[in-house]
Amino acid sequence: MKKIREIKIGNVVLGGNHPIAVQTMWDKPIETVDVNLMKSINKLESYGCKLIRFAAPTIESVPLLGKIAEKTQMPLVADIHFDYKIALECMDYNIPKIRINPGNIGASWKVEEVVKKAGDTNTVIRVGANGGSLPKNLKKMENRAEAIVLAAEEQLNFLESLNFHNIVVSLKSSDIEENYYTNEVFHSRHDYPLHLGITEAGPLIPSVVKSSIGLSRLLKEGIGNTIRISITDDPLKEVIAANEILSVLKMNSTKRINLISCPKCGRSSFDTHTFTQEIQDYLYSVDKDISVAVMGCMVNGPGESEHADLGISGVGNSIAIFKKGEIIRRESACSAKEAFIEEIEKL
């Protein structure tokens, strides 16, 4: 497998033998850094998010990002467009990575200033290209995938000409074939870590389908060092989806619970939908390599989930917890969640 150069972003290293880092992007403007905001950010971390990106639309937004950086272990990435001064400002705070598009920063001396300060402050720069926003000179190319690669290489060459190599690259398309081709070609030519994602992938279901198919092919070939599942929905869902993809591919860096749950059918007497929702926060933040089943009926549930380490199902107010298909405990509906967590803790 090709060796990818190591790029350190705060406490996360991409490339080398380091695991693939899950990341997301915060989806709202930051107006204040309060307890609720930090609670949501900490929740993303507990679900397995390793890097978090924020838009930095104005100079005034940067100190707020600096404040967040003081309160979380996750390294911050600032997303900057148009104004090079915002990029310079970010580097006065604990923001170890910035994402810029040199094409919209303006005159090359402005990009040079950003790159110089990034060198002085050991800040990583993410550059890249997106099928939807190609520079004018490449827009007319018939082969759009090749145009995306060339657009990224133009930015890369410029940074390298300034002797700057602390770089992560992204090449994104909303078309999964095009996305595959661009990343595969870039990977064959360069050794910079790649940020993978299917851009503008849509709401939850279309995005997860496209991202799973599009990214797993690359990941299985050893291509990609950090992933973001772009979803028109809560960033928490992006983190869950990314970790699920990595878990299925057995590429997850941390132990995770494999949640098996039945869809329910006409035989169902236990509400798997509600119970799964209620226990989700706990399950996604536990560091255990086990399988847990939430099944809708006592007729087929225990049998269908025999291979799970622990399962739960029930009839009305009588809830059964079972281990490898055998009932080990009975509870009422109101004590079921607590009892189930207690049994998971014992494993």
- Contact pick of 257, 262, 292, 320 for ligand SF4 (by CB under 6 A): 262
Distance CA 241, CA 211 (A): 9
Interatomic CA distance for residues 13 and 92, integer angstroms: 21
Residue closer to ligand SF4 by CB (options 276, 300) is 300
Strands of 310-315's sheet in order across: 258-261, 291-294, 310-315, 318-323, 326-331
Phi (first) and psi of residue 260, to 5 degrees? -105, 130
- Can you tell me the distance from the alpha carbon of 271 to that of 262, in angstroms, rounded to the nearest whole number? 10
Judged by CB under 6 A, does residue 238 bind ligand SF4? Answer: no
Closest CA to 21 of 50, 63, 57: 50
The nearer residue to ligand SF4, 26 or 322, going by C-beta atoms, is 322
State which of residues 103, 214, 296, 314 lies at the interface with ligand SF4 (CB under 6 A): 296
276 binds ligand SF4, rule: CB under 6 A = no
258 lies in the binding site for ligand SF4 (CB under 6 A): no
Q: How many whole angstroms separate alpha carbon 158 and alpha carbon 113?
A: 13
Q: What is the DSSP letter of 2?
A: P
Q: How far apart are CB 321 and ligand SF4 at their closest, in Å? A: 15
User: For ligand SF4, how many residues bind (rule: CB under 6 A)?
Assistant: 13
Q: Is 255 exposed, middle or buried (0-12, 13-18, 19+ CB in 10 A)?
A: exposed
d(Cα 7, Cα 81) in Å, to the nearest integer?
Answer: 22
92 or 306, CB closer to ligand SF4? 306
Binding residue for ligand SF4, selected from 2, 3, 28, 267, defined by CB under 6 A: 267
| Closer Cβ to ligand SF4, 229 or 295, answer by number | 295
Q: Which residue is nearest to ligand SF4 (CB)?
A: 296
Q: Applying CB under 6 A, which of residues 178, 238, 244, 304 lies at the interface with ligand SF4? A: 304
Of the candidates 268, 308, 309, 314, which one interacts with ligand SF4 according to CB under 6 A? 268
Task: Provide the 8-state DSSP code for 58.
Answer: S
Q: 285, 257 in Cβ contact below 8 A?
A: no
> If binding is defined by CB under 6 A, does position 297 make contact with ligand SF4?
yes
From the CB of 152, what's the least distance to ligand SF4, in Å? 46
Contact 253, 287 (CB under 8 A): no
- Select the span of 152-160, 261-269, 274-282, 339-347 touching ligand SF4 (CB under 6 A): 261-269
Q: Decide: is 300 part of the binding site for ligand SF4 (CB under 6 A).
A: yes
Least distance from ligand SF4 to the Cβ atom of residue 280, Å: 18
Sign of CA dihedral 179, 182, 187, 193: negative
Q: Which residues bind ligand SF4 (CB under 6 A)?
A: 262-265, 267-268, 295-297, 299-301, 304
